[in-house]
Amino acid sequence: MFKKALYGILKRFKFLPPELYVKIYYEYYTGKRLDLKNPREFNQKIQWLKVYYRKPILTQLVDKYSVRSYVSEKIGDRYLNELIEVYDRPSQIDFKALPHQFVIKAVHGCHFNIIVKDKKSISRNKVNFLLNKWMHKNQYYRGGLEWAYKNVKPRIIVEKYLEEMGKPMINDYKFFCFSGEPRFVQIDMERGIHDYRCYYDLDWKKLPFSTEKNRFYEGQVEKPENFELMCQLAKKLAGDFPFVRVDLYNIEGKIIFGEMTFYPTDGRKEFRPEQYNEILGSYIDLPAIPENQKYIT
């Protein structure tokens, strides 16, 4: 209990060297020690990538606005959601000019989203308060030193509201890609309602694991008719990164890009059953750090 309390204090000290900080951060949330010289489990390798994998393009790819040009180049504009506007400050938003439904996102962090189903029902003061709060946050320091977010310029985008007939929320298909190859897909359903989650391999066989604190969906998910195309698009976007998760939507057959992330759940939400942490970790081949360099740049 004393160690847990101590680490709870130390994880506030973002000025600590990243190599030390991620060890404290990881052990505080998982109860496991982190050996950066020989990481074996999935989240342990995610922590390693936070510290040592610093290719500049990552900053572009986690930025929800800047990533659009990458997606356009790799797979084409037709897979991008409609962009209504981009702003440098919340004060620039003209709510009168926005459609009845839309989604507001801050480009520089996780869970910085406001889904507006009815513009007349929102409080603009509350929205502006929240946006101004987000604009002063940095995901790198807010979480566990996720390096890719460190230098993302805070901005706000407004995108088209996405919906699918007969569903309270659209399914989110998250492709886990290792060295450029998609290996399996996480499916999130009814987010914010039941928060169901399950995993399928690329042959659409349900996998026997999930993540802690998410409700495992016991039923069968219908395979999208164009699932193979989704896999191809995820592969094109995944490049040659040691690991990246490519998120896609599929609304009545129309595939729409969501986002790319390199540190799912900040590398602290474990898989269950326990053995899958190491099984999935074996899929990540960590690159060698060049001689006389501290990081991979």
Q: pLDDT digit string (tens) for 214-237?
A: 788 888 999 999 999 999 999 999
Task: Quote the mean pLDDT of the chain.
Answer: 94
Looking at residues 158-185, what average pLDDT do you find?
Answer: 91
**What pLDDT is attached to residue 191?**
78
Could you tell me what percent of the chain has a pLDDT over 90? 86
What angle do the packed helices 18-30 and 2-10 form, to 10 degrees? 140
Number of separate domains in the chain: 1
Answer for the pair 180, 239: CB distance below 8 angstroms, yes or no: yes
Answer for the pair 158, 93: CB distance below 8 angstroms, yes or no: yes
Looking at residues 248-259, what average pLDDT do you find?
Answer: 96
Task: Answer yes or no: is 90 within a domain.
Answer: yes
Task: Answer yes or no: is 171 within a domain.
Answer: no
Looking at residues 259-263, what average pLDDT do you find?
Answer: 98
DSSP run (H or E) holding 43: helix 42-52
Residue 160, pLDDT above cutoff 80: yes
- What secondary structure letter does DSSP report for 31? S
Residue 193, pLDDT above cutoff 80: no
Task: Answer yes or no: is 202 within a domain.
Answer: no
Looking at residues 93-117, what average pLDDT do you find?
Answer: 94
**What pLDDT is attached to residue 190?**
82
Task: Answer yes or no: is 144 within a domain.
Answer: yes
DSSP run (H or E) holding 105: strand 102-106
Task: Answer yes or no: is 92 within a domain.
Answer: yes
Place of tokens 């399914």: 171
> What is the domain extent for residue 158?
54-163
Task: Answer yes or no: is 68 within a domain.
Answer: yes
**What pLDDT is attached to residue 163?**
87
**What pLDDT is attached to residue 26?**
97
Which one, of 285, 277, 284, 211, lies nearest residue 41 by Cα? 277
Task: Answer yes or no: is 101 within a domain.
Answer: yes
Task: Answer yes or no: is 184 within a domain.
Answer: no
Residue 166, pLDDT above cutoff 70: no
Could you tell me what percent of the chain has a pLDDT over 70? 99
